[in-house]
Structure 1
């Protein structure tokens, strides 16, 4: 439960943004968190918008769990409560934006203005000179009243190039230049950054980025200098406690390299609902642990399809669980593993667990991306969708998600499939948006959608 009873708390905070995706926001956010954590400061990092991958790097850098904040998906009251709670126990709060500063509705700029977060613009300056200052000026002044910290030039060719970029930027808004260095680039794959926990040298990468940042004006700011970005975080309105709808329920949660897309806030919500959580690895475990319900979250089953499909023990354990009428909630990658077949991007078909008839086919381009919401009898869950595959199945579709009213155009939404005790969808829900609806996913099917 988030403590919202305290009065306003003052804490230095910054929102790391950019003119577009791919400018280096995540690297700079993680480097800044790592730099201050190494110096003994308590750093809390948040990610703007729905994102599972960047928070792995932020958590490694800061040493603390990372939560998503979004004016639509998580809601203003939730954002306010989380920021205020973090400010009570932090020396620095860092929020990584999403896409470009003004992209999306709501955008990172909306979040910055709503909570008074000074914006640090990270700009890939590898192919510009004087335009850097014009771009920084435009980002700062495009929307009146936007709190502003300054601009950092990224992927700069040389010290001389950095001096050119600095011209035209107000001294108090020039936060330095980072030279182009492949060692400072975090590795990626088709859904985004590679998960930090999969790389043996992840911390060394962060330390190298922090060392480079330490040579810039941004990196040389001490605790006193950070006070120029101090923000007053006020308490959110009190809300009703989460009812113990899952009291006495034991939920087995898949978690390994194939299933790793899990919001920390979703785990918190299940525990607040009274559930006991236990972990298992579909890659390594031959059977489910004793449990009342199963959660198969998203991830990368397509990268581990051969091993997953060959784990007959786990497949049979899941089949027995379902035959006993015990619920399974499977989202995105978790759903993909339940189908008969996954066809990878090379066109190779991999037999999977076969608990849902049908096949999933990976493609080269995104199949769906954006905010979604799911109306259930117990309430409406907000969340998002993001996948490169399509599903073909005759399983009954018992519900569909919908885009929020702020979306530019309607779509048919994501299917929610049900077969026996299994419910599955590409939809990634944010459980705190409706704890009651979240609980219904893990109760007997007559209490769910």
Structure 2
């Protein structure tokens, strides 16, 4: 249904495509969530099976006027020369029409060559339209439009002028998170106005209407176990914000009550039965995390007493003995006997494939695990002596072909997992929180 609200939301979502994806889906997803006013979902053909992707898209589309899927990197860029797990592969799987956003800065006819190349690369792909981005003038736009018309049959839905004042700031992992940007809503509104003025949103909505329907499978009922729910703490503040919403939902579906905690602001750990420490930017907030001694020490005592903890990337860094940033060592929780250093270059970036080879509370021994990593930190002391549970077949992890530091009932990985790709994880975490065994 082409409502004004749908057009407004669509304009805000198109902004993400114009800004360009950072390659860090958990950060860009937060910007998409702010733009749409509803949780952005991850659709990744490496992390999750096709059935889970189709189910997630069907459920999201069924509750909305339009479902917009933001591509990651270039259209055909994947994990190998064949473009495995690329945006194009996802578009073919879901039958989604592709609207190509092309950067026109300092080029003219080359834009047409790029579009033609995408058509020739995969004739079966529904390359339905193009939006020209960062045009310098109306004359610049006119030349590009004419070149596209002469060379291809792909319609142009609009041309957006370059706007340096709307550039989103970045740092080492990509965009600055939306929660930390003081003018995020203003920027989204101004950029959306720019899109609405220069892109045919009616045509874009009509294209979405041509996408084939996807039937959602029956929803899996939530746990109906009687008694008190397991209370699982989730660290969530500006230092820890990298969570797939599906992971939190699956924990609740498995019978958990989520209790959000802040290692930055809370003076003590609440009464929880387990803790989920996600990724984020502990390196940016290292001094404040170190200064909250009460929380650090309380968490350390609970871990030593057997509190089940699942930690990913930034969570691993926080559980270390110390985090060194810019040559300054900040004391952390000390639950795992390693030292971590923040470096100036990526230490692990991309998909991870691993196999569990050690019994642990969260993942079955011998099971395959897929995930992704993106970290500038590395373990400088202790990596070769700590017990680990994951053998890395693809990726870096903590180094030496290993990941998943295991101490007591804590498992700390550089790898981020998605619950749809590791369906055993959420029920196992709830069992661990409830005192059960695998």
TM-score tier (shorter): 0.7 to 0.9
Tell me how far apart the structure 1 counterparts of residues 208 and 322 of structure 2 sit (CA, whole Å).
56
**Residue 72 (str. 1) matches residue 46 (str. 2):** yes
**Residue 272 (str. 1) matches residue 253 (str. 2):** yes
> Aligned residues, how many?
407
Change (3 A) 1:154 1:54: same
2:37 maps to what in 1?
A: 63
Please give the secondary structure, in 2, of the residue aligned with 1:150: strand
2:360 maps to what in 1?
A: none
1:398 maps to what in 2?
A: 388
1:215 maps to what in 2?
A: 197
Query: Given the two structures, how large is their TM-score scaled by the length of structure 1?
Result: 0.82
**Residue 424 (str. 1) matches residue 403 (str. 2):** no
Residue by residue over 1:86-139, the C-alpha shift from the partner in whole angstroms, topping out at 9 and shown as x without a partner, is 222222111011111111121110111122111111111112111111111111
Which segments of 5 or more consecutive residues in structure 2 lack a partner in the other structure?
Answer: 79-83, 357-362
Please give the secondary structure, in 2, of the residue aligned with 1:103: coil
Conservation of the 8 A alpha-carbon contact between 1:259 and 1:297: yes
Aligned match for 2:273, one of 285, 289, 292: 292
Alignment of 1:19-418 (within 5 A): 36-37=8-9, 51-104=25-78, 105-170=84-149, 173-219=155-201, 221=202, 226-227=206-207, 229-235=209-215, 248-344=229-325, 346-374=326-354, 375=356, 376-377=363-364, 379-391=367-379, 392-393=381-382, 396-403=386-393, 413-418=401-406
1:432 positional shift = 2.5
Conservation of the 8 A alpha-carbon contact between 1:48 and 1:70: no
Please give the secondary structure, in 2, of the residue aligned with 1:285: coil
Which segments of 5 or more consecutive residues in structure 1 lack a partner in the other structure?
Answer: 1-10, 13-31
1:402 positional shift = 3.3
Query: Given the two structures, how large is their TM-score scaled by the length of structure 2?
Result: 0.84
Conservation of the 8 A alpha-carbon contact between 1:381 and 1:430: no
Residue by residue over 1:304-360, the C-alpha shift from the partner in whole angstroms, topping out at 9 and shown as x without a partner, is 00010111110121022113212111110011011111122x332222222222211
Residue by residue over 1:176-214, the C-alpha shift from the partner in whole angstroms, topping out at 9 and shown as x without a partner, is 221111122221111011111212211110111111111
Q: CA RMSD of the aligned region, Å?
A: 3.1
Residue by residue over 1:132-166, the C-alpha shift from the partner in whole angstroms, topping out at 9 and shown as x without a partner, is 11111111231011112222221221121111111
Please give the secondary structure, in 1, of the residue aligned with 2:59: helix
Tell me how far apart the structure 2 counterparts of residues 273 and 306 of structure 1 sit (CA, whole Å).
36
Change (3 A) 1:38 1:67: closer
Change (3 A) 1:210 1:441: same
Tell me how far apart the structure 2 counterparts of residues 432 and 148 of structure 1 sit (CA, whole Å).
28
Change (3 A) 1:250 1:161: same
1:446 positional shift = 8.7
Conservation of the 8 A alpha-carbon contact between 1:69 and 1:79: yes
